[in-house]
Structure 1
Amino acid sequence: MSASAKTFSSSAKTGNIHIDPTGFVKLGSQLPALANTLSQAIDTLSLSLSDTQQRTLLLYLDQLLLWNKAYNLTAITDPKEALIKHVIDCLAIITHLPSGSLLDIGTGAGLPAVIIAICQPERQCTALDSNQKKIRFIKQISSELGLTNMQPIASRIEAHEASYDVVTSRAFASLIDFVNVAHPRLADGGYLCAMKGKAPSDEELQALESDWQIKTIKLNVPQLHDSRHLIELSYKNV
């Protein structure tokens, strides 16, 4: 991988931030426009991210696209589409996440784990996936970006034994399946947080509500017109 996220200067002004183009490979001439789109989204989402954090998010996007073919990371190859559907989509959950250590199940290319780790350096994040190649990518990008709070692990969730305050996932089609595999990894008083497109069906909610307190949060993802929700579940101590 190329470039370090630690390098920062004000050689190119874009929106409210100054982006040093050094080290960017795939974004190229699109960097100023993408930086502006990202900055506007951050403002819309009421996030407080430094210029360095915003540059780090763009470097992650650049490396995601650069190494996509080698690691089979995403079907999206257009930089602006990838920025919106991957980076900004994950940014939309940041203000809604409970505090504490976090496990991201089926993390793939590190979504949302890497995005959370960049935005919340005080939070310890574990990215879990059974795909060795994708975990290798996360290890490389975490080192490149200086993410000391990121621990990538290649494993199936059933073989992982640690417990966490928050367990996230962006990959599970079924909310019930996510709850079934995730709840053994949840610390006492912890939260399951599932990123979903559509809100859960009545059938899914009815199957879970006897044991779980469920909160459905409708997300507003800037420049994304598709439906997005975050489902927060906490275990009922009854």
Structure 2
Amino acid sequence: MSESLWRRQLSDGLGAMGIELSTDRQEPLLAFLGLLNKWNRAYNLTAVREPRQMVPRQLLDSLTLLPWVTADRVLDAGAGGGLPGIPLAIARPDIHFTLLDSNSKKTRFLTQCQLELRLDNVEVIHGRAEDCRPDRPFEQVTSRAFTALPNLVDWCGALLADEGQFLAMKGQFPDDEVSQLPSDWQVGARHRLDYPGCDGERHLLIINRVSPRQDSTTGG
């Protein structure tokens, strides 16, 4: 029953959001949801357990980021149960996604997803962001329910290219977190996110470094 419900919710939801995904892309999304539901019983990967809420709050919510994911290499920081990284990787097989999390149970699950769903564009790293040493910085870093914005730029700033962007997903607009951002970071844009079944406020904050020119002061 859940599978037919999920298939209908996903197809209808994508249509309402104006996202075109072939059946070849929708089926892995549903397979991922099945894995998430199965492993969640033992690993507590997500608080969403009601079948009718799973497609909206896990798949559609993650896919709201698609218009802004434009880099060739993307890091999903604090990837947890694979949201938004796995749905984005399924929808965009041309982009390489690195999923980073310090929880070994969660990275075990992510590795299983990568293997079972044959996601050649996904790499899973178990470790803390501060200890991660990629070959080169990432152009974009996504985060969803990971940490406060000041922590995000502190822990992951070294992983982001100079002209890169943080794509931070939040619920209500986090005024307090924005006001506490260090002076060398700024919210370059903010977008209200919406999807069928969304039951609260959702925001995307695009955070950039402040360029030296913007941050410069006149000297004597």
**Fold in common (TM above 0.5):** yes
Q: Is the 8 A contact 1:221 1:228 kept in 2?
A: no
Cα gap change, 1:209/1:218 in structure 2, threshold over 3 Å: closer, same or farther?
A: farther
Contact persistence 1:213–1:236 (CA under 8 A): no
State the partner residue of 1:182: 156
The answer on whether the counterparts of 2:148 and 2:177 sit within 8 Å (CA) in structure 1 is: no
Instruction: Give the superposition deviation at 1:172.
Output: 2.9
Cα gap change, 1:66/1:147 in structure 2, threshold over 3 Å: closer, same or farther? Answer: same
In structure 2, the partner of 1:48 is: 20
Q: Which residue of 2 aligns with 1:121?
A: 93
The separation in 2 between residues aligned to 1:209 and 1:43, in whole angstroms, is 41
| Alignment match, 2:79 | 107
Q: Deviations over 1:74-124 (max 9, x none)?
A: 222222212211111101111122322111111111111111110100000
> Could you list the runs of 5+ residues in structure 2 that have no partner in the other structure?
213-220
Paired residues for 1:174-213 under 5 Å: 174-201=148-175, 204-205=178-179, 207-208=181-182, 211-213=185-187
**Partner amino acid, structure 2, of 1:157:** A
How far off is 1:52 after superposition?
Answer: 1.4
CA distance in 2, matches of 1:225, 1:78: 14
The alignment's TM-score, normalised by the length of structure 1, stands at 0.83
SS for the counterpart of 1:121 is coil
| Mapped contact 1:64–1:109 kept (Cα < 8 A) | yes
In structure 2, the CA distance between the partners of 1:183 and 1:33, relative to structure 1 (3 Å rule), is: same
In the other structure, the counterpart of 2:133 is: 161
* Whole-Å separation in 2 of the counterparts to 1:212 and 1:161: 24
**How many residue pairs were aligned?**
210
The Cα shift of 1:236 comes to 2.4
Residue 71, structure 1, aligned to residue 43, structure 2: yes
Shift in CA distance, 56/95, structure 1 to aligned 2, threshold 3 Å: same
Partners in 1 of 2:107 and 2:118 — Cα distance?
16
Q: 1:227 aligns with which of 178, 201, 214?
A: 201
| CA distance in structure 1 between the partners assigned to 2:6 and 2:30 by the alignment | 8
In 2: Cα distance, 1:172 partner to 1:32 partner: 31
Aligned partner letter, 1:200: P
Answer 1 or 2: higher relative contact order, Cα 8 Å, separation at least 6: 2
Q: Distance in 2 between matches of 1:134 and 1:206?
A: 29
Report if the CA contact (8 A) 2:150-2:180 is conserved: no
TM-superposed deviation, 1:33: 2.3
Unaligned runs of 5+ in 1: 1-28
For 1:150, the equivalent position in structure 2 comes to 122
Which residue in the other structure is 2:218 paired with? none
* TM-score normalised by length of structure 2: 0.89
Structure 1 consecutive aligned stretches of length 4 or more whose deviation exceeds 4 Å: none
Distance verdict in 2 for CA 1:171–1:213, change over 3 Å? closer
Identical pairs, percent: 34
The equivalent position to 2:60 in structure 1, one of 73, 85, 88, is: 88
Q: Residue type matched to 1:30 in 2?
A: S
Task: State the distance in 2 between where 1:175 and 1:206 align.
Answer: 8
For 2:112 and 2:6, the matched residues in 1 are separated by 23
